[in-house]
Structure 1
Amino acid sequence: MYPKTKPPEKNLADIGKRLKFERNRLGLKAITVYESLDIYQTTYKNYEEGKRDIPSSLLINLWHLGFDIVFILLGNQSSATQNTAKSSDNLPKKLTEAEMRQLKMLTETQNKLKNTEHKILVSQQIDGILKQDMNKNRSKRFIS
């Protein structure tokens, strides 16, 4: 027999709460997130309030911003997030405004591309920016 599932509206409410939790964990303001995702403020607010389903394409973009998608969807923190939650030194630092603008531009470009290979190249650039920021923060820990 299949396990009982929550009604869809309960799942959406839980997902919305976890989305907001992740945004706060990353130290991001809502405006930073919805502008980076190139969506309306009300749309993002509806996601956080559990009034609207989050599309998978948007989840991928949230992942690129450092959100723990497994946690948002299922409530289980991934091992990477569990490890960072143990030490505040490991928490991702806020991206600079220039990096956020660059990520937004790359995400917009990626969404407009039709060629899969080009999308992958842009995705790799996005990953590079995020990894560079993570490494920058990691080296600060060892220096201090």
Structure 2
Amino acid sequence: MTTTTVTPDQLRTLWTGPAVGRIDRGPDLPPVTQDDLATLASGVNTDHDGLPLPDQWEVLADHLNGAKAGSTDGSWRQEEALEEVEKATRAARQAARSLDREAQHQHAAIRTAVACGVPVSRAAQAAGLTAARVYQIRDGRR
């Protein structure tokens, strides 16, 4: 991949230059336009007129130059999204294991209650289940 490094000075010039201005980044990446720069600038600290603060031009240049792996083509968002999928999957699996343990505890409590003479209808009401489901739990079905 052949790319051209974008400098903070180029970004400042693009910001204040003609509306048709752009910064070419080589044959493998799209050019940076004023619209692109305005969109990127919405994610940094700006003054009351919306102009990036002096130290933020470097942040914008770093972003465009891929200081975050692949950020120039959006792949860093894909990586972050995949990391979030993995994190959510771990949490979901942990929750499923916890839910399974709690369901086993609930089933044991229902079997104990019914064995102690609690009417199935009362056990069902207490558990928020149907009487048919309580019978299934009591009998070890499903």
Larger Rg: 2
Richer in helix (by share) = 1
- Please give the TM-score of this superposition, normalised by the length of structure 1: 0.24
TM-score between the two structures when normalised by the length of structure 2: 0.24
